[in-house]
Structure 1
């Protein structure tokens, strides 16, 4: 950075690859010389295991991977450099990783403004049950655009509302992610416990158990790509204990493990959910999930607000991950998750935007600041610091999604998913510590965001879509849904 500051882990220059050597095929070279992008003169927070930071350093990108990271200028003699970026005044970080979202809610923002979770769901389920493919594509485009413009390079969505005759809703989301150019985990959600079966959603908003399992398997077979650098993963994701049968939970876990994909659901979000589980199953949510095969290193759950010491110990013992959604939890008055205790126990934790009907801001950068602030409200000024917040949003999220070997930190051999944050403007220039400026300051402009070495944001604007056109489409589809649902 231009102010020359660094965090507490200033390090010697990192390893460099021989620029004359044939690159690894993973870089996209297949033995041939690859195109390189050189970024220099910026502060760097690598978020590696040691927390390495550089006051002024460089990143070399070769093809889709990071070739070198270190202090000072990039090494001389690099071949086939197609772009050099003078990033003075910027902080380079790994791209942000969103671990929980509901894209379709982008077109129902601002509704049920003063409700807790169960009342909020009861009010909105009848509206959501009328979505269709054009609505979901527009909503996914808006959600992804907002996140990508704010530094997200790996997005995730949990879609679980599939009205009959609505079209290919999961495909609409996948198409939107491809248009934006972001890495994507599409969690094929499901609900089979309607109100007549003791669940929360209306009966017309749910699938049968067999339909849900069949559609989930089809989504995996059609779309999941497990290769290095994959742009698309599929996860199996029954919605929640109060909208899903025990059979669906158990069979979805069996299916996911047979197919080698991850599992996602909501867990321990509210005190009402705790009461629901104890009344229906005779145990709390964590114990119930364990009886259905839903604790493990291939599982992550959203929220996990109301967890006692035994619950946290069970997550730590099994490697079950958590998507922490502080803004949504506050919007619905669900409570404050015990994130510092989870981290101390070794629970994998990432950050999530959650659906924009409960987090109208719709971008992940806000969650770094809010995660730090709300956890200090509960645990005091040392509960969470700026670097921990950044780690939650990057490597923590990559671990939760099962992609920590590929992304989440700036290290040679990892995918070139990185962001340049402009910190020399009015909102940040007087904060000496660049990581503190990013986390505690206002939303920082994104000058450049790369996904696999390809720009998805340039000078604060998306490269893959017309932002104004996306905004118009979301407005039109929101109005259309309001008319159909009778709320206009």
Structure 2
């Protein structure tokens, strides 16, 4: 016997399908967990017959797809704007020293705080690199969707098999934790877990190849940080003593590890960029989603584009950690698959994807005054373009019949506008310009955040 799908109509001032032109005075028809149609408001004026859909009128509001954050670390949400003036390597060292004694409850509390904050900004899907794995539990608890990359570290090629076995055991422990909400989220595919080789300088090629093989066999993307800083680039091209000293700390003296022998870095070939290093070892492919890509040249961008690599642009974190500016305009003209990410709350003031988009537009316009990159293009990068990076463009990222009902409803609250003036301005500017606040977040048609409260029923 087929279960009757619950039908609902959501009305508002603007519907932004993303892959079609904005619709004024429009509505969405939902059937169960999916979008059935984008309709005119007049079509929503149905009789009171019980068989007709219920109608919810949000008034002066904008409905768009749930937002997608392509790079974050929910693990560090309890460390807001953590010592960001130090620069990447001193910041990383201080972060490691701060969390070294955290227990499971600390990691979970931190990740839960981040997940709830993300939901409060209209984010329905997060791509998270997690040291502890707690991000998976947090997304399941709050009801969000996401791809969790369980982080992988190891620079000793002679121990690659052992390190990989340890990672596999950690992965198995996470997916068999016995947590009912996580079990359900994994079973229905709302949350997926993959491998995240941390970066080219913290994961040796032999270990990365094991991760790639596993990901290919399990049809998973691979997450990483790539060319995040000029120091990383200098270290691969010739040498950077601060980077070597950082590795000596991270893989040697930290946690009382074995003395660091630089001979274990024999896999590092001088004279190449981080991107070229991965390419030489056949580690670039269409399964790779790389965060940052700041220290890249034209040849690097060509390699990333030809191999189908996706990039998560994180302009605010890049700026606050003094890493520089990723060449967004060149990335766009190269045809890279490209989205935006906030990075963690430890390196960014919030997890607001619209604020990230606003910063990306302003920064790019300052560097490239003639660029066509504006609010519409930025919003596409945190919806449909991000979905393409995840190979989920047929499920999420735009409002179209048959897609999942992952929706963010934003109330227009710019007090500078007179009543009805929102009809005369660009709805993309309304969102990216900061003139709206989240009213409600729906995931698979279920309210997960409304008026500042999680809706977990």
Q: Report the TM-score when normalising by structure 2.
A: 0.84
Contact 2:355 2:434 in 1 (8 A): no
Contact 1:229 1:415 in 2 (8 A): no
Q: 1:182 aligns with which of 116, 141, 144?
A: 144
Contact 2:15 2:63 in 1 (8 A): yes
Matched residue, 2:289: 300
| Cα deviations by residue, 1:196-224 (Å, 9 ceiling, x for unpaired) | x69xxxxxxxx934312443466578879
How well do the aligned residues superpose, as a CA RMSD in angstroms?
A: 2.6
Name which of structure 1's ranges 306-315 and 366-375 shifts more when overlaid on structure 2. Answer: 306-315
| Cα deviations by residue, 1:65-103 (Å, 9 ceiling, x for unpaired) | 100113333454797556421122111110100111111
Contact 1:303 1:337 in 2 (8 A): yes
Whole-angstrom distance in 2 between the partners of 1:294 and 1:149:
36
| Cα deviations by residue, 1:117-153 (Å, 9 ceiling, x for unpaired) | 1121122222233222111111111111111010001
Matched residue, 1:137: 108
Contact 2:130 2:151 in 1 (8 A): yes
Output aligned runs, 1:301-450, within 5 Å. 301-426=290-415, 432-442=425-435, 444-450=436-442
Q: 1:234 aligns with which of 187, 193, 197?
A: 193
Name which of structure 1's ranges 334-343 and 220-229 shifts more when overlaid on structure 2. Answer: 220-229
Give the 3 Å change call, closer, same or farther, for CA 428–403 of structure 1 in structure 2. farther
Query: What stretches of structure 2 of length at least 5 have no aligned partner?
Result: 239-267
Q: CA deviation at 1:453?
A: 0.3
Q: Which runs of 4+ in 1 moved over 6 A?
A: 220-229
Whole-angstrom distance in 2 between the partners of 1:219 and 1:262:
18
Whole-angstrom distance in 2 between the partners of 1:153 and 1:302:
19
Whole-angstrom distance in 1 between the partners of 2:111 and 2:51:
37
2:236 paired with 1:281? no
Contact 2:408 2:441 in 1 (8 A): yes
Query: What stretches of structure 1 of length at least 5 have no aligned partner?
Result: 1-29, 161-168, 199-206, 466-488
Matched residue, 1:210: 165
Matched residue, 1:62: 31
Q: CA deviation at 1:462?
A: 2.4
Matched residue, 2:265: none
Give the 3 Å change call, closer, same or farther, for CA 328–383 of structure 1 in structure 2. farther
SS in 1 for 2:447: strand
Whole-angstrom distance in 1 between the partners of 2:2 and 2:366:
53
| Cα deviations by residue, 1:265-324 (Å, 9 ceiling, x for unpaired) | 000111101012223322111111223333222211001112211111222212110111
SS in 1 for 2:72: coil
Give the 3 Å change call, closer, same or farther, for CA 81–234 of structure 1 in structure 2. farther
Matched residue, 1:470: none
Give the 3 Å change call, closer, same or farther, for CA 52–94 of structure 1 in structure 2. same
